[in-house]
Amino acid sequence: MNSTREYAAIIVGAGHAGVEASLAIARGGFPVLVLTLDTNAIARMSCNPAIGGLAKGHMAREIDALGGEMGRATDATGIQFRMLNRSKGPAVWAPRAQVDKYEYERYMKRALDEEKNITLKQGEVAEILVGDGACRGVRTKEGETFFARNVILTTGTFLQGLIHVGEEKCPGGRRDEPPAVGLSDSLRAHGIDLVRFKTGTPPRLHRKSIRWNKLEEQKGDEPPPFFSHRTKNRKVDQLSCWLTYTNAETHDIIRNNLHRSPLYAGRIAGIGARYCPSVEDKIVKFAEKERHQIYLEPEGRDTNEIYVNGFSTSLPKDVQDAALRKIEGLEDAEILRFGYAIEYDAAPPTQQKHTLENKKIKSLFLAGQINCTSGYEEAAAQGLMAGINVLKRLRGEEPFILDRTEAYIAVMIDDLVTCGTKEPYRMFTSRAEYRLLLRQDNADMRLLEYGYQAGLVSEAERDAFAKRKRAIEDDLKKLRETRIGNDTLYHYLKRPEASYKALTDNKIHSSKLDDNEAHYLETEIKYEGYIARQMIEVKNFKKVEKRKIPDEVDYDTVNGIGREAKEKLKQIKPDSIGQASRIPGISSCDLSLLAVHIARLASKK
């Protein structure tokens, strides 16, 4: 059956990227069709039941500030909340939450169901429909055709997915879910290159089979550090996570069975992330380490499943079983679901623009794991940005592109579309040049206004934020005016040993700010000098970013630039001299020649 209705957008996939993309466009007032393989698996957590963590926590906060759903969903379904890295500098503080993964799925399903502009439909998209260089719709495996002004592909690990456990392998997009088989061929037929990547997940254990009294307990923080500016006064009965370690016996079992690992036996061709190694990888690559941390994390309140964080593996089932049972506390552990590795097709992201629109096929956007990333937050952030860009286009507005000084999300997208990636891309704080400016505590300050302009943050939420900002300013004024000895509180706070909390605990300063606001203010005061220095760097960065490269530049006619550099410039098509400077292999000499060429073009005009 062919649908004659034309949607504003079709979203293929309802994972973390698909959900954010569809909600953004639908909330902007446009009709959206979401096509996904299983309408009961919405925003499923394929791997760890957690949101946030180092750098990912920053992105989850940024998604929230822009009006995305991930932060709110995490706050509503979280079972443990912590702020990581509290003992380190403020740039690397990071919120992390364990969530009830089943509640999270239900929450996101409800969000789609309740949105009047979304039609959620089960089906496998097997073809994209392209005409006059633009994507016009999709066709499903069952032969149904749907038309739209924009299509966003968010297919995750499903394209030609192949699951490995030891010597066994079977097609699958995720445990117990079928792969998507036709779409890869259609993408290739339309000139989109694909590569083969892989990722893996650990086994899940039965709660009752674990000797909890032998493990170290890790409790959540009180009060819980929430993700969303919209979450108020939620009481959470927090669950604990538990720590144990691998040991020499576990390592021996794994080492003796490496020949049965699909990874080491050469049965997996896909490339995995170096920074997210399987346990077999850790034991080979860090052979000198006597033990590795294993966190046992509940997957929800009403389930007996325990996630074994740090033990991602695709070893055969008997080896997983034997190796785990040598670990303290896991002597009687029963595996509910075995760990596995999965290979899938992904599209090198240099084929996309900063808006995540494909360079060859207009109105076709790619977001999430299909763009060679890994992780829920990375996927959700791209889904949201693709969604906002579709929304802007539908409204006839300028594209929405953040730069590297504004958000981790922008760092990720710029890295992807400018440099590409040879392995699944994950976000790290070290990837951001202006870390002190891109903190988790100031995400709202940086981005909430953009969310409002996109129509995803409401007037009331913006007003509440303005009120919070005024409270912070008032507090700052008070700190500047109140004296302690010869100093003001403001100057006193600049001392390394001084803390805002000590001032309030000792009743030296009375404050109406919550923990996050107080932390924001304290950081701004303590690091004022460093922040000012980064602001100068930001100015210089922006200057170079502003030097635009016109679309009509013909790189073949730029004198003096080598053939390889020309090929790279033609492939990436950088927007600015700044972006061109980040393309691997482009020298400062190439940039100068390019700048001269552009100046000549401009003077001729």
Ligand X SMILES: Cc1cc2nc3c(=O)[nH]c(=O)nc-3n(C[C@H](O)[C@H](O)[C@H](O)COP(=O)(O)OP(=O)(O)OC[C@H]3O[C@@H](n4cnc5c(N)ncnc54)[C@H](O)[C@@H]3O)c2cc1C
Residue closer to ligand X, measured from CB, 124 or 475: 124
Residue closer to ligand X, measured from CB, 138 or 472: 138
Q: Which of 287, 259, 213, 227 is nearest to 97 (CA)?
A: 227
Q: Is residue 197 a contact residue for ligand X (CB under 6 A)?
A: no
Q: Is residue 423 a contact residue for ligand X (CB under 6 A)?
A: no
Assess contact for 120 and 34: CB atoms under 8 A.
yes
Using CB under 6 A as the binding criterion, the count of chain residues that bind ligand X stands at 36
- Measured from the CB of residue 356, what is the shortest distance to ligand X in angstroms? 12
- Measured from the CB of residue 283, what is the shortest distance to ligand X in angstroms? 18
Q: Is residue 375 a contact residue for ligand X (CB under 6 A)?
A: yes
Q: Is residue 309 a contact residue for ligand X (CB under 6 A)?
A: no
Q: Is residue 320 a contact residue for ligand X (CB under 6 A)?
A: no
The CA–CA distances, whole Å, from 472 to 366, 465, 491, 499, 524 equal 39, 11, 17, 16, 11
Q: Is residue 418 a contact residue for ligand X (CB under 6 A)?
A: no
Q: Is residue 119 a contact residue for ligand X (CB under 6 A)?
A: no
Instruction: Tell which one of 98, 201, 238, 363 touches ligand X (CB under 6 A).
Output: 201
- Measured from the CB of residue 324, what is the shortest distance to ligand X in angstroms? 18
Q: Residue 562 CA to chain centroid, in angstroms? A: 36
The CA–CA distances, whole Å, from 417 to 297, 349, 421, 453, 579 equal 35, 5, 9, 25, 10
Between CA 90 and CA 349 the distance in angstroms is 31
Q: Is residue 158 a contact residue for ligand X (CB under 6 A)?
A: yes
Assess contact for 468 and 38: CB atoms under 8 A.
no
Contacts of 439 (CB under 8 A, 6+ apart): 58, 90, 91, 93, 520, 523
Q: What 8-state DSSP symbol labels residue 166?
A: T
Q: HEC string of 530-574?
A: HHHHHHHHHHHHHHHHCCECCCCCCHHHCCCCCHHHHHHHHHHCC
Q: Is residue 155 a contact residue for ligand X (CB under 6 A)?
A: yes
Site string for ligand X, 222-261 (x = CB under 6 A): ----------------------------------------
Between CA 598 and CA 558 the distance in angstroms is 9
Q: What 8-state DSSP symbol labels residue 178?
A: P
Q: Is residue 369 a contact residue for ligand X (CB under 6 A)?
A: yes
Instruction: Tell which one of 11, 23, 84, 183 touches ligand X (CB under 6 A).
Output: 183
Q: Is residue 351 a contact residue for ligand X (CB under 6 A)?
A: no
Residue closer to ligand X, measured from CB, 227 or 527: 227
Neighbours of 491 (CB within 10 A): 15
3-class SS shares of the chain: helix, strand, coil, % to 5: 40, 20, 40
Q: Which of 127, 157, 148, 180 is nearest to 26 (CA)?
A: 148
Residue closer to ligand X, measured from CB, 368 or 578: 368
Q: Is residue 35 a contact residue for ligand X (CB under 6 A)?
A: yes
- Measured from the CB of residue 340, what is the shortest distance to ligand X in angstroms? 6
Residue closer to ligand X, measured from CB, 382 or 579: 382
Tokens of 552: 């009509």
Q: Is residue 379 a contact residue for ligand X (CB under 6 A)?
A: yes
Q: Is residue 416 a contact residue for ligand X (CB under 6 A)?
A: no
Per CB under 6 A, which of residues 125..144 are in contact with ligand X? Answer: 125
* Residue 584: exposure state from Cβ atoms within 10 A (0-12, 13-18, ≥19): exposed
The CA–CA distances, whole Å, from 328 to 219, 244, 281, 284, 331 equal 20, 7, 21, 21, 7
Q: Is residue 386 a contact residue for ligand X (CB under 6 A)?
A: no
- Measured from the CB of residue 49, what is the shortest distance to ligand X in angstroms? 11
Instruction: Tell which one of 174, 229, 393, 468 touches ligand X (CB under 6 A).
Output: 174
Binding footprint of ligand X on the chain (CB under 6 A): 12-18, 35-38, 41, 46-48, 124-125, 154-158, 174, 180, 183, 199-201, 276, 342, 368-369, 374-376, 379
